[in-house]
């Protein structure tokens, strides 16, 4: 049997829109094995237990954990760009910024549960007025801190604040294909600003002798397969690693132009998802959804908010009956227990 090296499979109904099988975890690692390996090695070096790293990819061969391997934190759901394929411009929930009270509750929970990793993302986290102080406090509380940003900072201090926090991993999302494609895909973004910010970040890292890993998430469309290697080589001048990331359709975003289609969305199948086994998301107002995709649903029948950290502890929520139900449903394929997951590609 031939080992499949990417999650991409042909779409017999439309050869220009290939299918994406997100359940093929081995293929998801193999097609970007080098960046995965580098990041995993740095996570281990920072003291994160090996089993927590393994659980992020292979939760079904491991017992359920008594705590999440990571917490995804949303400082804000505001964003300074509108990506045409992204769910953020479409979300119907209220927009805002995490308060000091909610952030303090978050830190208390992280310390009490001895959480190893925090991923700062959501909207554009650098827009938060307390960005520097929040990130510095988080860095003191966990072994490994990472951020996902669009790289459209208007203050040059942002580059230094990320490195001085410090973030162990700084991930910047960049669309492949040059200025025209970048600005077409990211409405409101400026290619020159991205270019200048990446140069500044690299310069600041050298000045500060920072150990942060800079990773460019290179967003790729099916039509760009032939330029993928060239684009990786080009963007490598600004970063330590490049992580190819194929643009996959989000089920509640009506955008179909030159993207990959999730198999589960096409067939309305149920995914085998890893999120209930490894991660909790904390939104800006303290709400904890089942997962990031569920929390951002436009169709409210698929939006499942479990609790709020201003009212309950993350430990109680993680051990609560809703998370237990979804872990059991995914592990045992009891589909009646995971109804909101139907048609989602999973993670």
Alpha-carbon Rg for the chain, nearest whole angstrom, is: 19
| The CA-based dihedral angle spanning residues 180, 181, 183, 187, taken in that order and rounded to the nearest 10 degrees | 140
The span from the CA of 25 to the CA of 6, in Å, is 9
pLDDT at position 250 is 82
**Which of 37, 12, 34, 9 shows the shortest CA–CA distance to 22?**
9
- Bridge partners of 121, per DSSP, are 74
DSSP states along 243-280: EEEE-B--TTS---TT-BEEHHHHHTPPP--SHHHHEE
- End-to-end alpha carbon distance in the chain: 25
For the four alpha carbons of 188, 194, 195 and 197, in that order, the dihedral sign comes to positive
pLDDT grade for 4, boundaries at 50, 70 and 90: low
The per-residue pLDDT for range 175-224, each reduced to its tens digit, is 999 999 999 999 999 999 999 999 999 999 999 999 999 999 999 999 99
pLDDT attached to residue 337: 93
Predicted local distance difference test score (pLDDT) of residue 3 = 47
pLDDT at 254: 82
Distances (CA, A) of 343 to 107, 207, 292, 300: 34, 47, 15, 15
265 vs 255: CA distance, rounded Å: 13
Domain boundaries, the chain: 16-341
- The pLDDT tens digits of the residues spanning 63-95 come to 999 999 999 999 999 999 999 998 887 888 899
For residue 47, is it left (φ>0), alpha (ψ between -120 and 50) or beta?
Answer: left
Alpha-carbon span 51 to 5, nearest angstrom: 24
Strand partners, 260: 248
Distinct helix (H) and strand (E) counts, the chain:
14, 14
- Going from the C-alpha of 323 to that of each of 39, 255, 319, the distances in angstroms are 28, 31, 7
pTM of model > 0.75: yes
CA 69 vs CA 45, 278, 310: distances in Å: 16, 5, 21
C-alpha to C-alpha distance for 190 and 167, rounded to whole angstroms? 24
Beta pairing class for 287-289 and 305-308 = antiparallel
Position with higher pLDDT, 277 vs 293? 277
Collapsed DSSP state (helix, strand, coil) of residue 311: coil
Predicted local distance difference test score (pLDDT) of residue 335? 93
Identify the pLDDT of residue 49.
Answer: 96
In tens, the pLDDT along 287-301 reads 999 998 888 887 777
Residue 1 scores a pLDDT above 60: no
Query: What superfamily does domain 16-341 belong to in CATH?
Result: Aldolase class I (3.20.20.70)
Both structure tokens of 59: 């939760």
């Amino acid at each position: 049997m031939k080992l499949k090296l990417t999650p991409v499979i042909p779409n017999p109904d439309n050869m220009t829109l290939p299918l994406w099988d997100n359940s093929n975890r081995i293929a998801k690692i193999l097609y970007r094995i080098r960046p995965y390996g580098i990041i995993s090695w740095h996570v281990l070096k920072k003291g994160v237990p090996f089993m927590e790293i393994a659980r992020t990819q292979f939760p079904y061969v491991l017992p359920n954990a008594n705590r999440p391997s990571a917490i995804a934190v949303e400082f804000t759901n505001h964003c300074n760009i509108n990506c045409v394929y992204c769910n953020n411009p479409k979300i119907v929930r209220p927009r805002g910024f995490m308060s000091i009270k909610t952030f303090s509750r978050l830190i208390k929970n992280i310390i009490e549960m001895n959480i190893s990793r925090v991923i700062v993302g959501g909207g554009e986290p650098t827009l938060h007025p307390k960005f520097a102080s929040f990130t510095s406090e988080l860095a003191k509380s966990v072994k490994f801190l990472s951020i996902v940003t669009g790289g459209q900072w208007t203050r040059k201090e942002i580059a230094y604040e990320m490195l001085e926090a410090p973030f162990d991993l700084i991930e910047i999302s960049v669309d492949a294909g040059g200025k025209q494609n970048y600005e077409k895909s990211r409405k409101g973004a400026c290619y020159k600003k991205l270019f200048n910010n990446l140069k500044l970040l690299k310069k600041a890292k050298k000045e500060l002798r920072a150990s942060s890993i800079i990773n460019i998430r290179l967003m790729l469309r099916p039509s760009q397969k032939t330029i993928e290697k060239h684009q990786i080589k080009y963007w490598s001048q600004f970063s330590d690693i490049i992580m190819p990331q194929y643009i996959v359709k989000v089920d509640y975003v009506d955008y179909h132009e030159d993207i990959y289609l999730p198999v589960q969305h096409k067939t309305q199948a149920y995914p085998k998802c890893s999120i209930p086994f490894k991660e909790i998301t904390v939104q800006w107002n303290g709400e904890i959804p089942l997962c990031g995709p569920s929390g951002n649903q436009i169709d409210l029948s698929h939006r499942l908010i479990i609790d709020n950290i201003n009212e309950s502890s993350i430990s109680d929520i993680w051990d609560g009956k809703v998370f237990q139900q979804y872990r059991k449903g995914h592990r045992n394929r009891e589909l009646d227990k995971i109804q909101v997951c139907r048609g989602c590609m999973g993670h």
